[in-house]
Amino acid sequence: MSAEAAESHGGAASEPAVRRMVPRSRGEAHRTATSLELFFDLCFVVAVAQGGRQLATALGEGHLRVAVLGYLMAFFAIWWAWMNFTWFASAYDCDDVPYRVTTLVQITGALILAAGIPRMFLDRDFTLGVLGYVVMRLALVTQWLRASHGESGAARTMTRSYAAGIALVQVGWVVVLLLPSSVVPWVLPFGVIAELSVPAIAERRVQSTWHPHHISERYGLFTLIVLGETVSAATVAVQSAVDEHEALGKLIPVAVGGLLLCFAAWWIYFAAPIHEHLRSNRQAFLWGYGHYLIFGSAAAIGAGLEVAVEYAVGKAHISAVAATATVTVPAALYLATVWALHSRHSKTGAAQWVLPVAALAVLACTAIGESGVLAAGLVAAAAIAVGVWLHSREVVA
């Protein structure tokens, strides 16, 4: 870290006075997530929980199209705002008063977005959701503008490009609210493409100084939080079902299968460090963008377990295969995506194919029906056992 940057990041016990926001070094030692970042994640998980709850409700009622489209859009807003804050903080976190206050504004936007998610599902009313999203994004614009004062040359152009690009897209989202509700679903994909394009355009000449180890830790921590929310949602669903129906015999297989899936999801994600793979924007962007599927599928597993519990006690108005699919489809997607983004970089030989095969096997468990969730959990556990066995053989060899 430069002397100027070191001065801006004084001792942990010092008061966060107003400091000059300068880029942090990629080679900074002992870079870890801050308590503010962890608090930010915990507040964002409220929106994740709302999205999962609405997904479970829509799936349980058999409204597949509403469930999938509503969830994809709601989770994109959550994920994209979280991701942009995370990468910005990795490069420019100065932890002073303005930075903390601006982060609080972003958290406020996340809570507004969470409050608007039910309306997005039920009435296709995007007003509150877009308002919360725009609040989060405009707060980040002020951060990028502030960062531009600590940069020069191409780096300053990069920071200003971020600010201008994000602001322009937010104008577009506000305009979307003025369109007829029947047109909005057709326009939303263009807004998503515009959002995804901003980082690539802004960093086409110079890269922001994100920290590989810090970024990989932040993504890992958010994965843990999402998996925790999944376990929590499933636990509440089981408890409620037991209290109301006392259908313990039918619920135990779902609970066991769900627990095995969540444990497997944790195991495979953290099986090997990934930060050494994140050496350039090309690698990091693909990895970071791909986490939309990892985070989204992890949260969807929890929603699916809620649906499976509701089916077990006769509340869900769908077939046994459909109820099982709400768990097995996101679980298979999670396994496949973690393999594509993580595992394939550290596995060789037969171990390379454990997760792809496991993903297909979990998906095949859908056809089993009522026992499919338990079968999927056993498949995931078996995949871990096989992976550990193959790894031990490599070590011995």
Question: pLDDT of 183-240, one tens digit each?
Answer: 888 888 999 999 999 999 999 888 888 898 899 999 999 999 999 888 887 787 777 7
Q: Side chain identity at 330, as an amino acid letter?
A: P
- Give the mean pLDDT of 72-89: 93
Average model confidence (pLDDT) across the chain? 87
pLDDT of residue 394: 66
Q: Check residue 272 and report its DSSP letter.
A: S
Q: How far apart are CA 120 and CA 318, in angstroms?
A: 23
Of 200, 202, 210, 188, nearest in space to 88 by CA: 210
Q: Give yes or no for residue 317 having a pLDDT over 50.
A: yes
pLDDT of residue 244: 60
What 3-state class would DSSP assign to 123? coil
Q: How far apart are CA 240 and CA 253, in angstroms?
A: 16
- Give the mean pLDDT of 337-350: 78
CB of 41 within 8 A of CB of 81?
A: no
Q: Phi, psi (5° rounding) for residue 208?
A: -70, 155
pLDDT of residue 4: 43
pTM over 0.75: yes
Which segments of the chain belong to CATH 1.20.1410?
212-396
Of 103, 28, 84, nearest in space to 288 by CA: 84
Summarised one tens digit per residue, pLDDT across range 161-188 is 999 999 999 999 999 989 887 888 888 8
| Residue in the structure block whose two tokens are 């509150």 | 128
Q: Phi, psi (5° rounding) for residue 319?
A: -80, 170
CB of 368 within 8 A of CB of 308?
A: no
CA dihedral 299, 89, 128, 166 (to 10 degrees): -120
* Start-end of H helices in 149-272: 153-176, 184-202, 212-245, 248-269
pLDDT bracket for residue 18 (50, 70, 90): confident
Of 339, 364, 362, 365, nearest in space to 352 by CA: 339
Report in angstroms the alpha-carbon separations of 127 from 69, 87, 141, 262, 288: 17, 27, 21, 34, 28
Of 80, 60, 194, 166, nearest in space to 129 by CA: 80
Of 28, 50, 201, nearest in space to 114 by CA: 50
Q: How far apart are CA 190 and CA 178, in angstroms?
A: 16
Residues in the chain: 397
- Give the mean pLDDT of 290-316: 91
Summarised one tens digit per residue, pLDDT across range 87-139 is 999 999 998 999 999 999 999 999 999 999 988 887 778 889 999 999 999 99
Task: Classify domain 212-396 at the CATH class level.
Answer: mainly alpha
Q: How far apart are CA 19 and CA 146, in angstroms?
A: 11
Q: Burial code of 14-38, b = ≥16 C-beta within 10 A, e = fewer? A: eeeeebebbbbebeeeebebeebbe
Percent of the chain with pLDDT strictly greater than 70 = 91
pLDDT of residue 397: 54
Burial grade of 243 (CB within 10 A; 0-12, 13-18, 19 or more): exposed
Lowest-confidence region among 139-143, 335-339, 352-356: 352-356
CA dihedral 46, 52, 54, 57 (to 10 degrees): -140
Report in angstroms the alpha-carbon separations of 23 from 91, 198, 284: 6, 19, 18
pLDDT of residue 5: 44
The token pair at 74 is 């709601």
Summarised one tens digit per residue, pLDDT across range 48-76 is 989 999 999 999 988 888 889 889 989 99
Q: How far apart are CA 79 and CA 257, in angstroms?
A: 27
Summarised one tens digit per residue, pLDDT across range 270-290 is 987 777 777 777 777 888 899
CB of 221 within 8 A of CB of 283?
A: no
Q: How far apart are CA 358 and CA 335, in angstroms?
A: 7
| Residue in the structure block whose two tokens are 């870079």 | 31
